[in-house]
């Protein structure tokens, strides 16, 4: 069974607490937190105070996706406020191993992410050092974009590398995932599914989460 990680970027922020409760009660195991700095990606989202205020109300796995330049500066902060998984971008820094070590020293799970145009082979030497790889299926920066079909190649390539170097690796996909394409990404090897708009903009959030969790 997949793990679902609804992205709060698609929430109605005036009802943030309520909407998070809904996905948790419906059975979602993770909650996806998109932190954007306006430099690594063209958009600014939210950061520490928002995550801090929702942490005490939920037992879901806090899946923090850092879309920020030079992420090592903020690893301790996001660990301290209760992230369980910290994902950073391959393209956002050069000191990948140092960042991974810092996440592990803080007692958290480490994940590395690649943008759609980054070929998966660049992370081959890191596959056995992380718990998860996040394959972006849209250009990072905004919710509500259409899934890029070519990213299937990256999912398959990460799966192949995982079979060789780290069979336990989780493979997460993020961007434009719906009930119409979930099967293609899971068949390619993904087992952690981020879904923003398709969960929080659904007519019935509870029902939509349950539909995703059938996969
Ligand atoms: C995009 C973010 C995604 C986004 C997904 O940069 O990383 O997590 O919120 O939203 P949807 O599912 O609407 O594409
Ligand atoms: Zn994300």
Distance 5 CA to ligand 1 centre (A): 11
Residues with CB under 6 A from ligand 1: 7, 9-10, 32, 34, 65, 138, 140-141, 143-145, 174-177, 194-198
84 carries an active-site annotation? no
Atom of ligand 1 nearest to the CA of 176: 14
Burial of 151 (0-12, 13-18, 19+ CB in 10 A): buried
d(Cα 125, Cα 148) in Å, to the nearest integer? 25
- Indicate which CATH number applies to the domain containing 43: 3.20.20.70
Ligand found nearest the CA of 11 = 1
pLDDT for the residue numbered 64: 99
pLDDT for the residue numbered 118: 98
d(Cα 172, Cα 162) in Å, to the nearest integer? 13
Q: Are 87 and 64 in contact (CB under 8 A)?
A: yes
Atom of ligand 1 nearest to the CA of 175: 14
Supply the pTM of this predicted model.
0.98
Distance 71 CA to ligand 2 centre (A): 15
pLDDT for the residue numbered 134: 99
Atom of ligand 1 nearest to the CA of 177: 12
Q: In what order do the strands lie in the sheet with 192-195?
A: 3-6, 192-195, 170-174, 132-136, 109-114, 85-89, 61-67, 30-36
34 carries an active-site annotation? yes
pLDDT in tens, the chain (215 residues): 999 999 999 999 999 999 999 999 999 999 999 999 999 999 999 999 999 999 999 999 999 999 999 999 999 999 999 999 999 999 999 999 999 999 999 999 999 999 999 999 999 999 999 999 999 999 999 999 999 999 999 999 999 999 999 999 999 999 999 999 999 999 999 999 999 999 999 999 999 999 999 99
CB atoms within 10 A of CB 150: 9
pLDDT for the residue numbered 133: 99
pLDDT for the residue numbered 157: 99
Distance 105 CA to ligand 2 centre (A): 23
Which residue, 115, 95, 214, is CA-closest to 174? 115
Number of domains the chain contains = 1
Question: Domain range for residue 115?
Answer: 3-212
Ligand found nearest the CA of 36 = 1
Judged by DSSP in three states, 94 sits in: coil
d(Cα 125, Cα 169) in Å, to the nearest integer? 14
Judged by DSSP in three states, 95 sits in: coil
Dihedral angle computed from the Cα positions of residues 179, 46, 73 and 62, in that order, rounded to the nearest 10 degrees: -50
Distance 143 CA to ligand 2 centre (A): 8
The residue whose C-alpha atom lies closest to atom 6 belonging to ligand 1 is 140
Which residues have a Cβ under 8 Å from the Cβ of 175 and sit 6 or more positions away? 136, 137, 138, 139, 140, 145, 147, 148, 194
Dihedral angle computed from the Cα positions of residues 125, 187, 35 and 126, in that order, rounded to the nearest 10 degrees: -10
Give me the catalytic one of 34, 37, 63, 170. Answer: 34
């Amino acid at each position: 069974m997949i793990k679902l990680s609804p992205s709060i970027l698609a929430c109605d922020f005036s009802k943030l607490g309520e909407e998070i409760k809904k996905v948790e009660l419906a059975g979602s195991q993770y909650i996806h937190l998109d932190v954007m700095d306006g430099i690594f990606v063209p958009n600014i989202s939210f950061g520490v105070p928002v995550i801090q205020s929702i942490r005490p109300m939920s037992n879901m796995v806090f899946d923090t996706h850092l879309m920020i330049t030079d992420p090592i500066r903020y690893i301790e902060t996001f660990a301290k406020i209760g992230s369980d998984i910290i994902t950073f971008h391959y393209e956002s820094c050069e000191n990948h191993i140092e960042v991974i070590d810092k996440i592990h020293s803080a007692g958290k799970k480490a994940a590395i992410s690649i943008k759609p145009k980054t070929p998966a082979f660049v992370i081959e030497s890191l596959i056995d050092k992380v718990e998860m790889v996040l394959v972006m299926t849209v250009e990072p920066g905004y919710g509500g974009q259409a899934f890029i079909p070519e990213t299937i190649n990256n999912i398959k390539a990460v799966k192949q590398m995982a079979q060789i170097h780290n069979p336990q690796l989780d493979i997460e996909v993020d961007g434009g995932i719906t009930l119409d394409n979930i099967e293609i990404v899971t068949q390619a090897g993904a087992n952690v599914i981020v879904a923003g708009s398709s969960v929080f903009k659904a007519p019935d959030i509870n029902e939509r989460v349950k539909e995703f969790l059938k996969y």
